[in-house]
């Protein structure tokens, strides 16, 4: 990351902006939690709980590569509090959808991260 292309926003402010903005990009009934990653000053921890009877919870790590680009990594998927096989078609589809929504939110927040 070059000096002119690093984040110029406090990590907690960034997490708060994500917490406020990300719900606009996922299903209305999904629950969203965004926290700063204590182990990585460029990272955020995102938990998305899918609506409905599926009761899936997805944990992602979003890391800012630079002020415009994020890398999204799936950390864990749980159902009713237990880890599940992440390779099923249903879960892979949800992971792809959520990853896309996370990227869309990052684009919407460029106004903050690219200042």
pLDDT tens profile 68-105: 899 999 999 999 889 999 999 989 999 999 999 999 99
pLDDT tens profile 29-76: 999 999 999 999 999 999 999 987 678 999 999 999 988 899 999 999
Residue 59 Cα distances to 7, 30, 114, angstroms: 23, 13, 25
Q: How many helices (H) and strands (E) does the chain have?
A: 3, 5
Q: Please report which confidence band the pLDDT of residue 115 belongs to, taking 50, 70 and 90 as the band edges.
A: low
Residue 17 neighbours by CB distance under 10 Å: 18
Q: What is the pTM of this model?
A: 0.92
3-state secondary structure of 84: coil
What residues form DSSP beta bridges with 34? 46
Q: Domain boundaries in the chain?
A: 3-113
């Amino acid at each position: 990351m070059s000096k002119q292309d690093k984040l110029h926003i406090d990590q907690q402010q960034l997490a708060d902006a994500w917490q406020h903005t990300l719900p606009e990009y996922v299903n209305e009934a999904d629950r969203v939690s965004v926290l700063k990653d204590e182990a990585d000053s460029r990272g955020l921890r995102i938990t998305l709980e899918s609506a409905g009877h599926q009761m899936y919870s997805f944990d992602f790590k979003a890391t800012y590569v630079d002020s415009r680009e994020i890398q999204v990594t799936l950390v864990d998927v749980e159902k009713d509090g237990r880890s599940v096989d992440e390779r099923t078609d249903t879960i892979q589809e949800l992971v792809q959808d959520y990853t896309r929504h996370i990227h869309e939110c990052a684009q919407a927040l460029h106004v903050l991260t690219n200042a």
